[in-house]
């Protein structure tokens, strides 16, 4: 079992999450179902990832009287999907935070070395002032996720929260060891990596299953 800082890891184990996850894993789940489930899990997971956003008082006039209500205090959010599978989580989070900006990090994994190679990176102009939610359904070796974290740190981002659906101990450790301040949210930590760097038991290639490619 990999040794990592569990205080910065949140496993979102709500019954709804676990129910949807079991359908996601099933090899007979259709592309349409898979895409919808990834979207739904992103909503549930981002809800937890934003739980500690600070609130401030604001005066609101209801149809009956004026009252003091609460609103999020000055938080600006950016969603950073790791292409291509991470795109499947973006719309769900935008349903919760429609004003969020979206940046993109494009990487592919070398089939021999399993190392990530960047081919695209673009962030909102004020990225350093935003809480960044880095999204990718699978956390395997951690190579792509740590590379994205590095790009964001170099751009001046202070608050980075990573959201994955299926992780493994090796990827969790690599991510949390790489950056002492990053926080990680996932729906499950699976058993291990296979020799060809796939998560076991996992759910296969998330990108292929989201977009119906092989």
Return the active site residues.
Answer: 109, 113, 205, 208
Other Cβ atoms less than 10 A from the Cβ of 55: the count is 11
Residue 137 in marked binding region:
yes
Q: Cα–chain-centroid distance for residue 150?
A: 16
- How far apart (Å, rounded) are the C-alpha atoms in residues 103 and 128? 12
Residue 109 in marked binding region:
yes
Residue 186 in marked binding region:
no
Residue 205 in marked binding region:
yes
Residue 179 in marked binding region:
no
Structure tokens at 99: 């004003």
| Rama region for 145: left / alpha / beta (φ>0; ψ in -120 to 50; rest) | alpha
Residue 69 in marked binding region:
no
Q: Contact 8/175 with Cβ under 8 angstroms?
A: no
Structure tokens at 128: 């350093």
- How far apart (Å, rounded) are the C-alpha atoms in residues 142 and 107? 12
Residue 199 in marked binding region:
yes
Q: Contact 186/172 with Cβ under 8 angstroms?
A: yes
User: Residues annotated as binding site for uracil?
Assistant: 199, 204-206
User: Residues annotated as binding site?
Assistant: 84, 109, 136-144, 199, 204-206
User: Residues annotated as binding site for 5-phospho-alpha-D-ribose 1-diphosphate?
Assistant: 84, 109, 136-144, 205
């Amino acid at each position: 079992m990999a040794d990592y800082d569990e205080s910065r890891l949140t496993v979102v184990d709500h019954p709804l999450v676990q129910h949807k996850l079991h359908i996601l894993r099933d090899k007979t789940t259709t592309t349409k179902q898979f895409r919808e489930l990834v979207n739904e899990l992103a909503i549930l997971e981002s809800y937890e990832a934003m739980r500690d956003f600070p609130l401030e008082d604001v005066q609101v006039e209801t149809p009956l009287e004026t009252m003091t209500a609460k609103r999020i205090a000055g938080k600006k959010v950016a969603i950073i999907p790791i292409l291509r599978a991470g795109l499947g989580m973006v719309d769900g989070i935008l349903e919760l935070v429609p004003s969020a900006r979206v940046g993109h990090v494009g990487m592919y994994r070398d089939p021999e070395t399993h190392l990530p190679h960047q081919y695209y990176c673009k962030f909102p102009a004020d990225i350093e002032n935003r809480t960044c939610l880095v999204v990718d359904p699978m956390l395997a070796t951690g190579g792509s996720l740590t590379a994205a974290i590095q790009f964001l740190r170099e751009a001046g981002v202070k608050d980075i929260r990573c959201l994955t659906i299926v992780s493994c101990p090796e990827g969790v450790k690599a991510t949390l060891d790489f950056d002492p301040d990053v926080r990680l949210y996932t729906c499950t930590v699976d058993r291990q990596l296979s020799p060809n760097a796939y998560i076991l038991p996992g759910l296969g290639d998330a990108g292929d299953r989201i977009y119906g490619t092989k």
